[in-house]
């Protein structure tokens, strides 16, 4: 559904007015009034994952709803900041807009970028200049990735940043050799500590391959988890319909049902 700029602005302003009413000390909602920046942390993370799930589902209606719930977290947090006289939604929007213009000199200035990778390179160059201007030349470009992120998502982010900085294999095929090398080292590990370390290297090498191929490993694993769930549910249903339990079903029969579920996909 296409809306005019004026309609979108009016809708956004109406949303801000609604949030101000919800946070009104006299007539607002008790729950909204109790919220703080800290209390919203868990909900923000939960809403992010729900939005990702909706994105993977391909259901436009669900995606619109979940993105709205995610936007709610930003609007509520901004209103809390405004109530505390620390920052407002205007500060957030203004800073974001300036950043987007500043980091896209190939769009808003005279720099050139013929491909997406060249555009990302411009972004990273501007970020490096910003760090220098702020006296943060010793700060790593990886420091901006929150270490509290899920490990696979963190690996995707830091490996992606390193690749954009030119830390990459010249020959794309080497990434598969690297995975094989890490798997051999895992097979040769002779202690639990060493096995854990080598297994981590296997996962990191695999995430690196995903980045090189333009695949989001977190999304890929989430999709694989969903397939596993569906296939296992098929096994459970089939076994139950046969009047048995999983424990009473042979391994060969369970594998046959697994392949049956795969074929049905």
Cβ neighbours of residue 121 closer than 8 Å, sequence gap 6 or more: 113, 164
Task: Look at residue 249 in the predicted model and tell me its pLDDT.
Answer: 93
Task: Look at residue 58 in the predicted model and tell me its pLDDT.
Answer: 87
Task: Find the length of the chain.
Answer: 265
Phi-psi region of 128 (alpha: psi -120 to 50; beta: other; left: phi over 0): alpha
Task: Look at residue 105 in the predicted model and tell me its pLDDT.
Answer: 87
Q: Which two tokens stand for residue 114?
A: 């013929």
- The closest of 85, 86, 72 to 19, measured between CA atoms, is 72
Task: Look at residue 252 in the predicted model and tell me its pLDDT.
Answer: 93
Q: Which two tokens stand for residue 264?
A: 């049905």
Task: Look at residue 138 in the predicted model and tell me its pLDDT.
Answer: 63
| Ordered per-residue pLDDT tens for the chain, 265 residues | 678 889 999 999 999 999 999 999 999 999 999 999 999 988 998 898 899 889 888 899 999 999 999 999 999 999 999 999 999 999 999 999 999 998 888 888 887 877 776 777 777 777 777 777 777 666 777 887 888 888 998 999 999 888 877 788 778 788 899 999 999 999 999 999 999 999 999 999 999 999 989 898 988 998 899 999 999 999 999 999 999 999 999 999 999 999 999 999 8
Q: Phi and psi dihedrals of 141, rounded to 5? A: -70, -10
Q: Which two tokens stand for residue 260?
A: 């049956």
Task: Look at residue 161 in the predicted model and tell me its pLDDT.
Answer: 85
What is the Rg, in whole angstroms, of the alpha carbon atoms belonging to the chain? 25
Residue 157 near residue 146 (C-beta atoms within 8 A)? no
Task: Look at residue 137 in the predicted model and tell me its pLDDT.
Answer: 62
Instruction: Give pTM, 2 decimals.
Output: 0.61
Residue 83 near residue 25 (C-beta atoms within 8 A)? no
Distance of alpha carbon 82 from alpha carbon 74, whole angstroms: 12
Quote the Cα angle for 234-240-242, to 5°.
105
């Amino acid at each position: 559904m296409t809306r005019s700029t004026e309609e979108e602005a009016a809708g956004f302003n109406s949303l801000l007015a609604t949030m101000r009413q919800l946070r009104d000390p006299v007539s607002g909602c008790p729950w909204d009034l109790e919220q703080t920046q800290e209390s919203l942390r868990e909900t923000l993370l939960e809403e992010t994952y729900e939005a990702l799930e909706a994105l993977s589902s391909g259901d436009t209606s669900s995606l619109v709803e979940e993105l709205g719930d995610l936007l709610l977290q930003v609007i509520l947090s901004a209103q809390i900041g405004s109530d505390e006289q620390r920052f407002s939604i205007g500060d957030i929007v203004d800073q974001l807009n300036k950043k987007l213009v500043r980091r896209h000199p190939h769009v808003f200035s005279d720099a050139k970028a013929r491909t997406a990778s060249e555009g990302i390179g411009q972004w990273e160059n501007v970020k490096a200049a910003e760090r220098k201007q702020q006296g943060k030349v010793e700060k790593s470009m990886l420091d901006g990735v929150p270490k509290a992120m899920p490990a696979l998502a963190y690996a995707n982010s830091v490996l992606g940043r390193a690749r954009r900085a030119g830390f990459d294999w010249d020959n794309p095929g080497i990434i598969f050799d690297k995975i094989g090398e890490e798997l051999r080292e895992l097979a040769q590990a002779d202690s639990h500590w060493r096995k854990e370390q080598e297994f981590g290297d296997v996962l990191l090498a695999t995430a690196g391959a995903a980045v090189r191929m333009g695949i989001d490993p977190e999304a890929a694993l989430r999709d694989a988890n969903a397939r596993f769930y569906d296939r296992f549910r098929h096994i459970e249903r089939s076994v139950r319909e046969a009047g048995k339990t999983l424990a009473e079903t042979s391994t060969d029969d369970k594998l046959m049902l697994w392949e049956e579920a795969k074929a049905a996909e």
